[in-house]
Chains A and B, each alone.
Chain A
């Protein structure tokens, strides 16, 4: 490999990139917009689920019960007229559950008889449904115990007192969870796309023939483009991490070194993936659509960014090991939130390095002959 040729190829890419003002602007505007939207708007914590309550009992118990539900912050109890059926309430779609407290509930509890408290839950959104169930169950046990006869309630000694502690982010600050994840997703999406464009553009314009005719070798072509896009990707990384610090105060929790090594590695993986996609397609549109749709959904959804990887079917858990974002997300979350450093992330760095190697070969293979395809 001739380093001078690599360098020249890199400069050529950067000059070409700089010439298209709109692309330069979007290469930075897209990541920043995404960071801001995710950081400011997206909240996974469930709250304010509207639930209808039909209180036929009108007793101290029912009032306590409703107050308890409301106090959870996750549910908002809305008193509904008693003549509408729970099914009709759900069908209208304004509430996610209909709770019916039948007449005589308090009396039944006080007499130790089973009380017919009922809830119809809209299970369209499964997470909502389970949260509603959790809160209703907890509220009935808690409030029910206060109204139950001594033989039922106070006879049960509490055998366990659970003391919970949430480490690293005790305030449950969601930006602290979302923002380091968005860093990983952004650095997965955009460098890949720009790399795919850089690779396929020459092909579409036909100027790749000049490269084929020259003494440039496939490895030099790929190394040159990779180097140029690595610079762009790192510039994006610096931009979003600076904004993350300025807006949400996301700062290093521990040793920054793994992140400083991991970021170039991830960008390298993504750029090589993009070059591979560019080498395998023939038009800018198909290259970007391939990298955009497939990669965005994989990076966003199978990386553990929003939903935990360990809840997926086993096959996808294995599959996620080859998604570079999954490893990098652990590195960013460790660097900015946990702060454990090397012992917890060295394996992620090793995986990234290995992936980069595999992808480099992958990008090189379709280009190695430096010939036109038919």
Chain B
């Protein structure tokens, strides 16, 4: 069982693992389906932008001036009016019961005070149950009113020229796809390699492998290789699909990107293998995998911004391979960044992959003995 690494034995083992994986339709489906289909569907569906908020308007003033204000409020698609010309009590009730997200109350004396040249007081009530949306929509409302107030023949005193770099069309999928790609590769990678790692133990064939002259390194590498190939295929397919569907750019170096992705995939597979050495059954593998992968996903910046987290969690996220990978994917794909900028992330990823692989190889070996 000891001895030098033998390519012949390795190739035989490799063939066995490939046949086993390819023979299992369900596993194939589970390896390839999430990265390809979920990335594109969720990339399309997920939108962090605040728009189409329903707003109930109580126009007690019923004047041309108040109608102009309502038009200004509902012109740009952030607020969509619902049940206009309600009473004040009616719109309050609507917010209270959650049927609308906001209410605009224009008091009866609005037109009169505007005509007098005094500012007309207008009330905006926002449903704070979703505090994230409430804050953003409050910002929009302030801008709408600001623009409405400033609407004169004269130009505003200062209007900055704002240019959006890298994603001028503000396509949200360009932001989400890298995050989803990283997250889904992580969770499927850990789950799949974990259950591959435990299969021999579960089926009782581990002893048979133990009796062959193959070294543990050969066994482990042969187990990893087919998964690695499948994940690389899934990665390429989902990037190609995202390019087709969302026009996701690929501005950086392809070779650089693929080599970093392979480090990342090895890291995910290593985590899974490590988990499989701790667990006794398939079920435990899967539960421990989720226990590990979900926090990694949540604290990665894929869905929630890292700079908004409390400092402790920001520091903690530095050891998260997913965080580094997502930063790299966004930089390389969208900004065309090279190694000169992303090297700290690459280094962190590499260190993580090596350490995880080393520990899991050591544990796998002791398991074989």
**A interface, CB within 8 angstroms of B:** 20, 22-23, 26-27, 29-30, 33-34, 37-38, 40-50, 87, 90-93, 99, 109, 112, 114-134, 136-138, 140-141, 143-145, 147-148, 151-153, 155-170, 172-174, 176-177, 193, 197, 201, 204, 281-286, 288-290, 292-294, 296-297, 300-302, 306-308, 310-313, 316, 330, 333-334, 337-338, 340, 343-344
Contacts and interface: CB of A to CB of B under 8 A. Distances in A.
Contacts of A177: 129-132
Q: Which one of B117, B162, B166, B285 has the highest number of Cβ atoms from chain A below 10 Å of its Cβ?
A: B162
Given A42-B309, A87-B165, A145-B157, A37 B128 contact: no
B49 A173 contact: no
Interface string B314-325: 000000000000
Given A43-B309, A91-B337, A156-B149, A285 B191 contact: yes
Given A41-B309, A176-B131, A293-B184, A159 B125 contact: no
Nearest to B298: A37
22 contacts: A22-B287, A26-B284, A45-B132, A91-B341, A93-B335, A121-B164, A121-B165, A125-B305, A129-B167, A131-B136, A144-B157, A159-B148, A193-B286, A285-B286, A292-B191, A293-B191, A301-B46, A302-B42, A306-B304, A310-B53, A312-B45, A312-B46
Instruction: State the 8 A-B residue pairs at the shortest beta-carbon distance, nearest first.
Output: A144-B158, A148-B157, A144-B157, A169-B128, A123-B164, A123-B167, A41-B313, A166-B128
Interface string B115-151: 0010111111111111111111011111101101110
Q: Which one of A46, A122, A126 has the highest number of Cβ atoms from chain B below 10 Å of its Cβ?
A: A126
Contacts of A301: 42, 45-46, 303
Given A22-B284, A166-B138, A289 B131 contact: no
B282 interface: yes
Nearest to B331: A93
A126 B128 contact: no
Interface of B: 26-27, 29-30, 34, 38, 42, 44-54, 69, 95-99, 101, 114, 117, 119-136, 138-143, 145-146, 148-150, 152, 154-168, 170-172, 174-175, 184, 187-188, 191-192, 195, 279-288, 290-291, 294-295, 298-299, 303-305, 307-310, 313, 327, 330-331, 334-335, 337, 341-342
B142 A126 contact: no
Contact of A118 (B101, B119, B141, B160): B160
A282 B29 CA distance: 13
A172 B135 contact: yes
Contact of A138 (B34, B134, B146, B335): B146
Contacts of B291: 26, 29-30, 33
Q: Which one of A128, A160, A163, A297 has the highest number of Cβ atoms from chain B below 10 Å of its Cβ?
A: A160
Nearest to B160: A117
A143 B158 CA distance: 9
B174 to A, nearest CB: 7
A144 B187 contact: no
A293 B150 CA distance: 50
A50 to B, nearest CB: 8
B47 A156 contact: no
Contacts of B195: 285
A284 B27 CA distance: 11
Contact of B46 (A92, A147, A307): A307
A120 B165 contact: yes
Nearest to A291: B286
Contact of A30 (B142, B152, B287): B287
